[in-house]
């Protein structure tokens, strides 16, 4: 080869210099040329030559090469600064460019490297504009999403988690999260994106989900679960999102988020138990009086420091949050005297009659035994439901494990419905009367039933003592709590995939009825599981569990999962179908808490970021902010190369690694 030309002596000039014109025999000639040594050498030269030669500018001028190196050095600093700000969820732009976080961070780099300050003094080609920032944010965010999509494709099964909310600008926002389980049975819940929609009807949300899955090249055929709240657009039996997706993929089992279900169960309990409802309504009114008055809030802190400095402060009651009711009621009991003193001092200083009436009403309720009993009873019941709710929000929690925890909580509440438990509760409430300004319990006036409702001649029944009267209220509240939780957790979706759990656990405990569960599982999940391999592996699992576990009669799904994860990957392959079954169990989440937390991140970002930011830019920052670990591991050189390649004119400025 001379001067980069093909050196083969049998080179055909028709394909090199003179041009080809024999179109009658074109197919034959093309195939012949494709197999010729001349063509092979030309292809080899086209691949190797760019790697062996340098840019003509760099060859002619070492100064040009140094300029390229410096430009790329500054580009990497720009990308690094954008990554740091996005990871922390901080605004890049400010009211003016010079005072923005982005420029100030670059100037901070300039304290250690003067070259960046010289770069910022340029009038053009600084590559710090808003459009450049958006492009770099998009490259990094899409890189993370491609990594997530690749992981889901490798892990195969996934569940869809969606939640919607209206932001302060009165626009509907939809969050999509995908849950998947890797080969080591580790659970991952990955935020995919925040999407602005003009309507939250079922068809619109379904279209958003399908569009996202299509863009990420994720097949709906591998969806094995759906977890939403109980809104009609999500769970409607005819046109809900869950129904529409289930019609396309019947194995995508829908579960009503246990966090929302538990919250609704607690709400039903409070509404139907008069003594608890009145107590929580009063505590909610107390929260409003303190929360919306800095003066009363400061006065409360002052009184607390004088009377009870060691006790925690007053916790505001928020009826819509999942795990704060018991904490608020507990703070009322611990600061009972402090709050009563607050109302006495606040009544005189209140200026308008409405506020004085509200303070007087709260003060009157707190001096009544019914309020003390209701707050104490609410605290005893809600601290167990709040603890359950907190556990359910763990991202590693599966729906099967959530059901197991709910049964433990129901068992705890059932144990409270015993005479000895009530006796202890009654004594503890009455002991507080010695130190609190609260009236003694009083029997109500005896009233006979109207004659029009009487059906017999039996004498009327009345409670003999105050203790018997409040015993009925105590048992009624516990019964309501147990029944409401049971009703909300008894979901059709769980009945379908419960066979997966029963099949494994019955097999381990040597219960032969597991064969019926296995038939249902194989018929329902079809090609996900091989029947013959599954049956053989279940028999092997029975022996392995008996040799590894001390007591197989109390084995749970978590125990079986831990048993397999402790095995080496090569040995675990012996239980490949069991691993698939465990993936199908673990892939169904207990709650939609990750989506809820994404909205918390959205509110936090909108507080710090400029309100006029585009939804696309906000979405990219949220991806980088939520996926912090993935953001930290971003290859900056790869981002720079993709940025440079997106516009050929940048090649001469920044070069390429």
User: Which range (35-44, 190-199, 376-385) has the least confidence?
Assistant: 35-44
What pLDDT does residue 606 have?
Answer: 59
What is the spatial distance between Cα 262 and Cα 487, in angstroms, rounded to a whole number? 10
Q: Is the dihedral of CA 422, 427, 432, 438 positive or negative?
A: positive
Range 392-414 burial, b when 16+ CB lie within 10 A, else e: bbeeebbbbbbbebbeebbeebe
225, β-bridge pairs = 159, 253
pLDDT-derived band at 1 (thresholds 50, 70, 90) equals very low
What is the spatial distance between Cα 328 and Cα 306, in angstroms, rounded to a whole number? 21
What is the spatial distance between Cα 414 and Cα 303, in angstroms, rounded to a whole number? 39
Closest listed residue to residue 624, CA positions, set 79, 31, 225, 179:
79
Q: Is the pLDDT at 349 greater than 90, yes or no?
A: no
Residues sharing a CB contact under 8 Å with residue 442, sequence separation 6 or more, in sequence order: 369, 466
Q: What is the pLDDT of residues 137-148, one digit of tens each?
A: 999 999 999 999
What pLDDT does residue 281 have?
Answer: 94
What pLDDT does residue 51 have?
Answer: 65
Place of tokens 């069991």: 578
For the residues 161-184, what does the mean pLDDT come to?
A: 86
Residues sharing a CB contact under 8 Å with residue 291, sequence separation 6 or more, in sequence order: 297, 316
Q: Quote the strand ranges of 222-354, DSSP E.
A: 223-228, 253-256
Structure tokens at 161: 């988690």
pTM of the model: 0.82
Q: Is the pLDDT at 382 greater than 80, yes or no?
A: yes
What pLDDT does residue 2 have?
Answer: 44
- CA 451, chain centre distance (Å): 57
The answer to whether residues 224 and 157 touch, using CB atoms and an 8 Å cutoff, is: yes
How would DSSP label each residue in 41-87? Answer: HHHHHHHHHHHHS--HHHHH-HHHHHHHHHHHHHHHHHHHHHHHHHH
What pLDDT does residue 648 have?
Answer: 67
What is the spatial distance between Cα 252 and Cα 603, in angstroms, rounded to a whole number? 31
**Three-class DSSP category at 488:** helix
What pLDDT does residue 619 have?
Answer: 87
What is the spatial distance between Cα 185 and Cα 103, in angstroms, rounded to a whole number? 44
**What percentage of the chain exceeds 70 in pLDDT?**
91
Question: For the chain, what percentages of helix, strand and coil (3-state, to nearest 5) are there?
Answer: 65, 5, 25
All structural domains of the chain: 13-53 (no CATH), 137-257+592-626 (3.30.420.40), 269-443+463-489 (no CATH), 492-586 (no CATH)
- State the average pLDDT for the chain: 87
Place of tokens 């989440």: 589
Q: Is the pLDDT at 632 greater than 90, yes or no?
A: yes
For the residues 249-261, what does the mean pLDDT come to?
A: 92
Q: Is the pLDDT at 351 greater than 90, yes or no?
A: no
Closest listed residue to residue 208, CA positions, set 224, 223, 192, 197:
197
Q: What is the pLDDT of residues 467-497, one digit of tens each?
A: 999 999 999 999 999 999 999 998 888 877 8
Measured from the Cβ of residue 270, the count of other Cβ atoms closer than 10 Å reads 25
DSSP state of 435: T
- CA 648, chain centre distance (Å): 40
The answer to whether residues 402 and 310 touch, using CB atoms and an 8 Å cutoff, is: no
Place of tokens 């729906």: 399
What pLDDT does residue 36 have?
Answer: 82
Closest listed residue to residue 491, CA positions, set 399, 398, 596:
399
What is the spatial distance between Cα 519 and Cα 114, in angstroms, rounded to a whole number? 72
Backbone φ and ψ of 178, nearest 5°: -115, 135
The answer to whether residues 154 and 160 touch, using CB atoms and an 8 Å cutoff, is: no
187, β-bridge pairs = 181
What is the spatial distance between Cα 93 and Cα 610, in angstroms, rounded to a whole number? 8
Q: Is the dihedral of CA 49, 52, 58, 59 positive or negative?
A: negative
Instruction: Classify burial at 134, counting beta carbons within 10 Å of its beta carbon; exposed 0-12, middle 13-18, buried 19 or more.
Output: middle
Q: Is the pLDDT at 161 greater than 60, yes or no?
A: yes
What is the spatial distance between Cα 115 and Cα 119, in angstroms, rounded to a whole number? 6
Calculate the alpha carbon distances from 42 to 29, 33, 37, 48 in Å. 17, 11, 9, 10
Query: What are 123-132's contacts with CB under 8 Å, separation 24+?
Result: 125/653, 127/75, 127/78, 128/78, 128/97, 128/102, 128/103, 130/93, 132/78
How would DSSP label each residue in 132-187? Answer: HHHHHHHHHHHHHHHHHHHHHHHH--EEEEEEEEE-TTS-EEEEEEEEEE-TT--E
What pLDDT does residue 3 have?
Answer: 47
First-residue to last-residue Cα distance in the chain: 28
254, β-bridge pairs = 226
What is the spatial distance between Cα 565 and Cα 181, in angstroms, rounded to a whole number? 13
What pLDDT does residue 244 have?
Answer: 94
Q: Is the pLDDT at 657 greater than 60, yes or no?
A: no
Q: What is the pLDDT of residues 521-557, one digit of tens each?
A: 999 999 999 999 999 999 999 998 888 877 777 888 8
pLDDT-derived band at 54 (thresholds 50, 70, 90) equals low
What pLDDT does residue 577 have?
Answer: 94
**What percentage of the chain exceeds 90 in pLDDT?**
50
What pLDDT does residue 546 have?
Answer: 85
Q: What is the pLDDT of residues 69-94, one digit of tens each?
A: 888 899 999 999 999 999 998 888 87
- CA 538, chain centre distance (Å): 33
Structure tokens at 585: 């169990």
For the residues 3-17, what does the mean pLDDT come to?
A: 66
**Element (DSSP H or E) covering residue 192:** strand 187-197
């Amino acid at each position: 080869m001379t001067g980069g030309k093909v050196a083969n002596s049998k080179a055909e000039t028709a394909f090199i210099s003179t041009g080809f014109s024999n179109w009658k025999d074109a197919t034959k000639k093309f195939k012949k040329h494709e197999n010729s040594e001349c063509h092979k050498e030309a292809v080899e030269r086209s691949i190797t030559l760019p790697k062996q030669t340098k840019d003509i500018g760099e060859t002619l001028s070492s100064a040009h090469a140094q300029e390229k190196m410096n430009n790329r050095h500054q580009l990497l600093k720009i990308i690094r600064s954008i990554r740091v700000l996005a990871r922390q969820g901080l605004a890049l732009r400010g009211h003016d460019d010079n005072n923005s976080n982005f420029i100030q961070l670059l100037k901070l780099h300039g304290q250690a490297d003067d070259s960046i300050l010289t770069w910022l003094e340029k009038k053009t080609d600084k590559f710090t504009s808003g459009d450049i920032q958006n492009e770099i944010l998009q490259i990094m965010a899409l890189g993370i999403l491609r990594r997530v999509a690749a992981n889901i494709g490798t892990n195969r099964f996934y569940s869809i988690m969606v939640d919607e909310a209206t932001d302060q600008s009165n626009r509907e926002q939809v969050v999509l999260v995908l849950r998947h389980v890797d080969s080591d049975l580790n659970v991952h819940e990955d935020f995919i994106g925040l999407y602005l929609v003009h309507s939250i009807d079922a068809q619109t949300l379904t279209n958003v989900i399908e569009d996202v899955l299509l863009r990420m090249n994720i097949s709906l055929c591998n969806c094995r679960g759906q977890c939403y709240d109980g809104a009609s657009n999500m769970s409607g039996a005819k046109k809900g999102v869950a129904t529409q997706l289930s019609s396309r993929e019947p194995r995508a089992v829908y579960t009503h988020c246990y966090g929302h279900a538990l919250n609704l169960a607690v709400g039903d309990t409070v509404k139907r138990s008069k003594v608890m409802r009145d107590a929580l309504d009063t505590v909610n009114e107390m929260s409003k009086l303190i929360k919306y008055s800095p003066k009363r809030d400061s006065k409360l802190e002052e009184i607390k420091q004088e009377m009870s400095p060691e006790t925690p402060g007053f916790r505001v009651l928020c009826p819509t949050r999942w795990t704060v009711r018991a904490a608020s009621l507990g703070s009322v009991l611990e600061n009972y005297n402090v709050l009563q003193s607050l109302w006495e001092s606040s009544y005189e200083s209140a200026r308008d009659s409405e506020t004085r009436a509200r303070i007087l009403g709260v003060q009157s309720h707190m001096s009544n035994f019914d309020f003390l009993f209701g707050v104490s009873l609410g605290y005893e019941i809600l601290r167990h439901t709040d603890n359950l709710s907190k556990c359910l929000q763990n991202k590693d929690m599966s729906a099967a494990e959530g059901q197991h925890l709910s049964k433990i909580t129901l068992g705890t509440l059932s144990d409270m419905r015993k005479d000895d438990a009530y006796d202890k509760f009654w004594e503890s409430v009455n002991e507080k009367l010695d130190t609190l300004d609260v009236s003694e319990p009083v029997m109500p006036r005896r009233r006979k039933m109207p004659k029009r409702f009487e059906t017999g001649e039996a004498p009327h029944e009345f409670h003999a003592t105050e203790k018997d009267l409040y015993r009925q209220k105590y048992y009624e509240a516990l019964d309501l709590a147990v029944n409401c939780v049971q009703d909300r957790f008894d979901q059709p979706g769980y009945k379908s995939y419960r066979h997966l759990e029963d099949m494994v656990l019955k097999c381990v405990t040597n219960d032969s009825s597991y064969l019926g569960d296995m038939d249902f599982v194989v018929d329902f999940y079809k090609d996900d599981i091989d029947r013959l391999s599954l049956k053989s592996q279940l028999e092997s699992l029975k022996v392995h569990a008996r040799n590894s576990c001390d007591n197989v009669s109390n084995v749970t799904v978590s125990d079986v999962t831990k048993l397999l994860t402790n095995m080496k990957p090569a040995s675990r392959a012996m239980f490949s179908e069991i691993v698939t079954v465990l993936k199908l169990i673990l892939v169904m989440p207990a709650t939609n808490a990750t989506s809820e937390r994404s909205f918390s991140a959205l509110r936090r970002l909108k507080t710090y970021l400029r309100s006029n930011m585009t939804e696309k830019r906000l979405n990219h920052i949220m991806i980088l902010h939520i996926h912090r670990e993935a953001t930290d591991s971003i290859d900056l050189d790869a981002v720079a190369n993709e940025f440079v390649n997106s516009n050929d004119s940048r090649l001469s400025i920044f070069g390429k690694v």
